[in-house]
């Protein structure tokens, strides 16, 4: 079953095919109004369930719009409103949902929920973010980098901040797409040990960013982190804020990315977010195009 669970679980050639198709589909739309259907309708007659156990703006809207542009239909479900949130097993939910829909996209807390859903579903399952990874976002980020600067292979990408779920998918992508990835952040917020063979760790953010082609950050407090950790994390991370001085250490044509939502003034200043290096809103747009290609790969259409 062609699930899209993680970048490290997907064949590099398939990943490359998705990025190339996403760019081709974006160009084919050529700025058409969002409600205009694509000329091809590969999802005609298909029904997709979008399940959210956590909040979302980009993932929810971009999947919904993308599926409709390709002729498919969607239902957006809150995990809390489903029996899934009230004791029905994930396996049983997966079996039942598979009788109704052609594909399941799920944003969930525990990675185990995603994996059990995939194990028991008889339709493809897409990871729309777990506590551990966010693969749709990083497919988008690779697409966005290449759109602006050409092949990402061999480039230096620097992550400044928390070694979180978005970072983990960057680490997977560094191996699959062949770029160098440096993590800079405080030791207590290091990425999980399984990722450390693939990355460089540099505690000094100014040293880390030297020669970077791309600088990336994310929120200091993720949706799965306890709010009680907020003050401690702010103290640990304030030296890793991406501001004009830090960006000045990168290459002159370096890009800045953030998956959003951003906390302006915390992990990034407005000057950088709205500055000439920033491609954050192209990233947000490209969620739509990248996920359309992921959906087509999963459904083989």
Using rule CB under 6 A, residue 218 touches ligand NVA: yes
- Please state, as a whole number, how many other Cβ atoms lie within 10 Å of the Cβ of residue 61: 15
Strand runs (DSSP E) across the chain, as ranges? 47-52, 73-78, 103-107, 125-127, 156-160, 180-184, 200-201, 214-217, 255-258
Report which of 108, 107, 166, 118 is spatially closest to residue 139, judged by C-alpha positions: 166
Which of 47, 115, 189, 260 is close enough to bind ligand CP by CB under 6 A?
Answer: 260
Q: Choose one: 65-73, 163-171, 189-197, 240-248; the region binding ligand NVA (CB under 6 A).
A: 163-171
CA–CA dist 170, 183 (Å, integer): 10
Smallest gap from Cβ 260 to ligand NVA, in A, equals 7
C-beta of 156 vs 287, nearer to ligand CP: 287
Q: Choose one: 12-20, 50-58, 229-237, 274-282; the region binding ligand CP (CB under 6 A).
A: 50-58
CB 114 within 8 Å of CB 108: yes
For residue 298, indicate whether it is catalytic. no
* Tokens matching residue 262: 């951003």
C-beta of 206 vs 281, nearer to ligand CP: 281
Rounded to 5°, angle at Cα 3 from 98 and 284: 105
Confirm whether residue 253 is marked as ligand binding: no
The active-site residue, picked from 46, 287, 289, 296, is 287
The active-site residue, picked from 3, 120, 134, 296, is 134
Strand, coil or helix: 241: coil
Show Cβ contacts of residue 228 under 8 Å, excluding neighbours closer than 6 positions: none
Spell out, one character per residue from 127 to 166, where the chain touches ligand CP: x when CB under 6 A holds, - when not: --x-------x-----------------------------
* Binding-site residues: 56-59, 83, 107, 134-137, 165, 218, 222-223, 259-260, 287
Interface residues with ligand NVA (CB under 6 A)? 129, 164-166, 218-219, 222-223, 259
Residue numbers in the known binding site for L-ornithine are 165, 218, 222-223
């Amino acid at each position: 079953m062609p699930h899209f669970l993680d970048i490290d679980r997907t064949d590099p050639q398939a990943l490359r095919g998705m990025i190339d198709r996403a760019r081709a589909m974006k160009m084919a739309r050529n700025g058409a109004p969002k409600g205009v259907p694509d000329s091809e309708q590969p999802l005609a007659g298909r029904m997709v369930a979008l399940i959210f156990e956590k909040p979302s703006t980009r993932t929810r809207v971009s999947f919904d719009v993308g599926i409709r542009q390709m002729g498919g239909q969607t239902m957006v479900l809150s995990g809390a409103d489903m029996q899934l949130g009230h004791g029905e097993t994930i396996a049983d939910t997966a079996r039942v949902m598979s009788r109704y829909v052609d594909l399941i996209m799920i944003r969930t807390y525990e990675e185990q929920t995603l994996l059990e859903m995939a194990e028991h579903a008889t339709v493809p399952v897409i990871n729309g973010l777990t506590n551990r990874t966010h693969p749709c976002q990083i497919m988008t980020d690779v697409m966005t980098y290449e759109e602006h600067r050409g092949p990402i292979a061999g480039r230096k990408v620097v992550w400044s901040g928390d070694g979180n779920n978005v970072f983990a998918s960057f680490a997977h992508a560094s191996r699959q797409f062949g770029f160098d990835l440096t993590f800079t952040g405080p030791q207590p917020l290091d990425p999980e040990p399984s990722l450390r063979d693939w990355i460089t760790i540099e505690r000094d953010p100014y040293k880390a960013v030297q020669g970077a082609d791309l600088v990336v950050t994310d929120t200091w407090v993720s949706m799965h982190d306890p709010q009680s950790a907020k003050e401690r994390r702010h103290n640990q991370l304030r030296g890793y804020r991406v501001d004009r001085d830090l960006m000045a250490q990168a290459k002159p044509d370096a890009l800045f990315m953030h998956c959003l939502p951003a906390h302006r003034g915390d992990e990034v200043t407005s000057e950088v977010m709205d500055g000439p290096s920033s491609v954050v809103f192209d990233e947000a747009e490209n969620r739509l195009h990248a996920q359309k290609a992921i959906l087509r790969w999963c459904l083989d259409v």
